[in-house]
Chain A
Amino acid sequence: MILPGNASCQGCPIAMAMRCLDEIENPVLVIPAGCSTVIAGLHPKSAMKCPVVHVPFASTHSVACGLSEAYRKLGVDATIVAWMGDGAADIGFATLSASATRKDDILTVVVDNEAYMNTGTQASLSTFWKAKTTTSPTGKTEEKRNLALVMLAHKVDYVATASVGYIRDLRRKFRTAGKKDGFRFIHVHTPCPPGWRFPSEKTVEVARKAVMSGAWILWEYDGKLRISPPSEKYADKSKRIPLKEYLNQGRFAHLSDEDVKEIERKIDEEWDLLLKFS
């Protein structure tokens, strides 16, 4: 679904996730401002083998809703994919929430690289606690928002988390969501080499360590919430790899041992909360 030679950075996780769009039939992409705008191609070229409607930040789900309503009215078969970063999910949250509440026929993919990367790594609501960004130069003071759980509270048909470290799981989730109707939401963890400051050949490794340390939990809801197979064993804390192995990134280089312990505690809390839903 995406051509080689596109404008993504070396080791870009978003381009990896975009390749998996071929699991979805008749896609029409709606892309707000962000890294994906550039990766999808600059005029007069396009890197995508499907229609792309570029839109302003906060309008992602309103434009997607308009396309979806019009295709339904005009009898056109299409899967509207709202493809956004964590930045667009921040600024367009009211619209995202309204769209989910209306149960618009839209598949939403949030590729979450935990900061506003396209403008130069500024902190977002998704930025990890203590992570350094250009607007949190000594480390972010607030928690990362759990967007997928917030979307689950909208009682939509399908919510899942995914990771570019587990492409088979991600592809299955794209395929499953693509076959469903109604509002579907997939939150993809996309570790960003320049933004997180790790070598560009280590994207998959970092993504996997996030899951293996328990820091990113793969789950799926389709009427019932289940921990996805790659994450299952990490419900047991003793099976997780040491958190420091995941935190071995430039944005966390300043963390003290106490900070790491605090993050571990927050991860345990996150698991406890999620397991209550499963």
Chain B
Amino acid sequence: MQAKSDCDGARGVRKLLTSNEAVAEAVKLAKPDVIAAYPITPQSPIVEKLSEMVESEELDSRFVRVESEHSAMGVVIGAATAGARVFTATSSHGLAYMYEMCWWAAGSRLPIVMALAARSIGAPWNIHGDHLDLVSLRDLGWIISVAENAQEAFDMTINAFLLSEEVNIPVVVAIDGFTMSHTAEVVNVRQVEIPPRKQAYRILPGMEVALNAVAFGEARMLARFDLARDLEESAGLIEEKLGGLVEEYRLEDAEYAVVVTGGLSGDVKDAVDMLREEGVKIGVMRLRFIRPFPKKAVKELPSQVLVVDRANTDLRGVLSVEVAACGVENKNLVAGIGGKYPTVDELYSCLKRFVDGKLSDVEWLI
């Protein structure tokens, strides 16, 4: 594995790209054999870009225009079973519609890379960003990475191919709907060599073998355990070669920490900078991955923790519950559901109340 860390400075071309376009540029470098997708806002520009690349012969891939997301995941599962490098992308209801097949992707231990332009799931209809779709992948056995900006969307997508093919677990790269998917930033499009396809097994004609036959009792339970263990252990590889599970921002001497993931992290960092100017010792732990969950890093957080969530499970946010499961008590701010995006000033005032001990246990920034 010739993994490149996110910041190793490989030479590239600086381009103005949305996160959708950055993902497509990274996929082009990975040269997938088969791409399958069904359009959905705000993901569609990824696969539109890729189909342009295929039709202009910039990219030598088979692009399958399926009739649903369920079939998009089915096609990439079939192609990966045959030994092909594969890619798909979806969002929101698309992810919900392909949910069954996402289980089969993980259970089959196939290297598969998917981009997710994270978006709210109805009802009611809403096309804007939050993490309600993303968190529905937590129990399946996928590696879940969440980018903060277009550069990281590019880097994480390249890393996703390396990681998935190394550990035989599907990897999703999430970008926030619209605030990232449709927002252009300068991206260093590194010219990275991605090694040839690698995977634990493939099915070929002539083999007298059955894949995923009915497995009762111990065999099924063992498969589930192996997946859970391997997913947990993938943390080592991510920490060592792929930029780590978390980014720590001004945390060294911090007495207060804010845990957050995705594009919203940038706004939280701005609010933290404002408090730092006032002399408050506060920092940010940005989760680059939520599977495997960065338990070790979370356990080392300072005693005062605020988790900012863009998805809830009950009244509490999902990441807040995950952080609590690590034994870390935390206050919780639920924000940005369905694109109700908080301003830096709003975040600043919530953080200020948190530091002053005036924030409730759980608050929704509506």
A residues contacting B by CB (< 8 A) are 26-28, 30, 37-38, 40-46, 48-56, 58-59, 61-74, 76-79, 94-95, 97-98, 102
Tell me the minimal C-beta distance from A41 to chain B in angstroms.
6
Contact across chains for A28 and B75 when beta carbons are under 8 A apart: no
Contact of B213 among A41, A63, A74, A95 (CB under 8 A): A41
Contact across chains for B68 and A95 when beta carbons are under 8 A apart: yes
- Complex Cα distance, B74 from A73, in Å, reads 17
Contact across chains for B210 and A46 when beta carbons are under 8 A apart: yes
* Complex A-B: 27 CB contacts under 8 Å: A42-B215, A46-B213, A50-B205, A51-B204, A51-B210, A54-B211, A54-B214, A55-B212, A56-B101, A58-B70, A59-B71, A59-B100, A62-B36, A62-B72, A64-B78, A65-B66, A66-B81, A66-B84, A67-B81, A67-B203, A68-B78, A69-B34, A69-B75, A70-B83, A76-B82, A94-B68, A102-B65
- Complex Cα distance, B203 from A53, in Å, reads 8
Contact of B214 among A37, A64, A67, A94 (CB under 8 A): A37
Cβ < 8 Å to A, chain B residues 233-262: none
Q: Which residues of B lie under 8 Å from residue A97 when comparing CB positions?
A: 67
Q: Which residues of A lie under 8 Å from residue B74 when comparing CB positions?
A: 55, 59, 61-63, 65-66, 95
Q: Which residues of B lie under 8 Å from residue A55 when comparing CB positions?
A: 74, 77, 104, 212
Q: Which residues of A lie under 8 Å from residue B203 when comparing CB positions?
A: 28, 51, 53, 67
Kindly state whether residue B125 has any CB partner on chain A within 8 Å.
no
- Complex Cα distance, B83 from A74, in Å, reads 8
Contact across chains for B213 and A40 when beta carbons are under 8 A apart: yes
- Complex Cα distance, B38 from A113, in Å, reads 33
Tell me the minimal C-beta distance from A224 to chain B in angstroms.
29
Q: Which residues of B lie under 8 Å from residue A77 when comparing CB positions?
A: 205
- Complex Cα distance, B203 from A55, in Å, reads 14
> What are the 10 closest A-B residue pairs judged by CB atoms, nearest first?
A66-B78, A62-B74, A70-B82, A70-B84, A62-B71, A98-B67, A63-B78, A66-B79, A59-B74, A70-B79
Contact across chains for A51 and B205 when beta carbons are under 8 A apart: yes
B residues contacting A by CB (< 8 A) are 33-34, 36, 61-62, 64-68, 70-84, 86, 100-101, 104, 203-216, 219
Contact across chains for A46 and B208 when beta carbons are under 8 A apart: yes
Contact across chains for A70 and B33 when beta carbons are under 8 A apart: yes
- Complex Cα distance, B75 from A44, in Å, reads 26
Q: Which residues of A lie under 8 Å from residue B76 when comparing CB positions?
A: 66
Tell me the nearest residue of chain A to B104, going by C-beta: A56
Q: Which residues of A lie under 8 Å from residue B73 when comparing CB positions?
A: 59, 62
Contact across chains for A42 and B78 when beta carbons are under 8 A apart: no
Q: Which residues of B lie under 8 Å from residue A42 when comparing CB positions?
A: 213-216
Tell me the minimal C-beta distance from A84 to chain B in angstroms.
13
Number of A-B contacts defined by CB within 8 Å: 170
Contact of B33 among A54, A59, A74 (CB under 8 A): A74
Contact across chains for A95 and B71 when beta carbons are under 8 A apart: yes
- Complex Cα distance, B101 from A43, in Å, reads 21
Determine which residue in A38, A51, A62, A65 has the highest number of CB atoms from chain B within 10 A of its CB, and name it.
A62
Tell me the minimal C-beta distance from B51 to chain A in angstroms.
14
Tell me the minimal C-beta distance from B202 to chain A in angstroms.
9
Tell me the minimal C-beta distance from B39 to chain A in angstroms.
14
Tell me the minimal C-beta distance from A6 to chain B in angstroms.
12
- Complex Cα distance, B211 from A49, in Å, reads 13
- Complex Cα distance, B75 from A73, in Å, reads 14
Contact across chains for A52 and B213 when beta carbons are under 8 A apart: yes
Q: Which residues of B lie under 8 Å from residue A69 when comparing CB positions?
A: 34, 62, 64, 75, 78-79, 84
Contact of A51 among B61, B104, B208 (CB under 8 A): B208
Contact across chains for B210 and A65 when beta carbons are under 8 A apart: no
Contact across chains for B75 and A76 when beta carbons are under 8 A apart: no
Contact across chains for A70 and B34 when beta carbons are under 8 A apart: yes
Contact across chains for B80 and A44 when beta carbons are under 8 A apart: no
Q: Which residues of A lie under 8 Å from residue B33 when comparing CB positions?
A: 70, 73-74
- Complex Cα distance, B57 from A90, in Å, reads 38
Tell me the nearest residue of chain B to A98, going by C-beta: B67
Assuming A69-B64, A94-B68, is B75 touching A48 (CB within 8 A)? no
Q: Which residues of B lie under 8 Å from residue A54 when comparing CB positions?
A: 210-214
Contact across chains for A38 and B214 when beta carbons are under 8 A apart: yes
Q: Which residues of B lie under 8 Å from residue A30 when comparing CB positions?
A: 78
Assuming A28-B203, A42-B216, is B211 touching A52 (CB within 8 A)? yes
Contact across chains for A67 and B82 when beta carbons are under 8 A apart: yes
- Complex Cα distance, B86 from A63, in Å, reads 13
- Complex Cα distance, B217 from A43, in Å, reads 10
Q: Which residues of B lie under 8 Å from residue A43 when comparing CB positions?
A: 210, 213-216, 219
Contact across chains for A27 and B205 when beta carbons are under 8 A apart: yes
Determine which residue in B33, B73, B100, B213 has the highest number of CB atoms from chain A within 10 A of its CB, and name it.
B213
Contact across chains for A48 and B82 when beta carbons are under 8 A apart: no
Assuming A50-B205, A54-B212, A76-B205, is B81 touching A98 (CB within 8 A)? no
Tell me the minimal C-beta distance from B242 to chain A in angstroms.
26
Tell me the minimal C-beta distance from A180 to chain B in angstroms.
17
- Complex Cα distance, B211 from A27, in Å, reads 14
Q: Which residues of B lie under 8 Å from residue A73 when comparing CB positions?
A: 33-34, 61-62, 84
- Complex Cα distance, B149 from A155, in Å, reads 47
